[in-house]
Structure 1
């Protein structure tokens, strides 16, 4: 009985790589943070290749190694890109920087550089290099403590 299973797997490598793929994906479910995921995906692709094209075990293992490296590298690049976008969007312990770029209106005229603008359900103190009337559209360009620096939208 054991000989038949080993012989079947040896003569049909696509079953081996399909089983390997399943095992690696189950291991990923246990929480390996993506490390087994890409090996499991690569093993699945090798199983498909082995099913379509009869190749030697050596060549299949080389394809598996290359696919694992390629998928892991693509995953690394995606994470790096995602983390760069998040770090640009939000600096650590500086949630007020999210206010930069918000377009709003003046609710208390900005005269002699000081006034108020409305953001969401509250108003914020604002400064500007020019006098602005109530209702003028402005954009937040900087945050200094609790005071917003705004410029008029042209």
Structure 2
């Protein structure tokens, strides 16, 4: 398994958009599959955020995660966020989600992020095992969610003499 940027493997965009829409359209009922796919073009930027990572095995798409500037419009002061953590159901339970989240956390840390946020409608125990802590409970688009955060250790700084 490899974890790479979606920008390196853009042929997976349509499948990802379909997966994400199928999984989370209840949270965003006004967003069509087409809108979702078009908004994912934001991940093809050279900037460090937003960024989407995918897990692949050869040509097989296994899962995804992203780092976004904001993922909850009701909490705009919190940034950046991990979002779109998804693993193909056929591959769940094999550590792919854990690897994706850890990859995104390390990427954020290397880019100077000290705190990451996420919200989840039901996967608190998964994120707690990875070091995340509950920040608050909220209702987002009429659904209860847990808002969580993780403190990242600063990246090592090379000291030259």
Range class of TM-score, shorter chain:
under 0.3
TM-score by length of 1: 0.22
Higher helix share: 1
More relative contact order, 1 or 2 (CA 8 Å, 6+ apart): 2
Which of the pair has more CA radius of gyration? 1
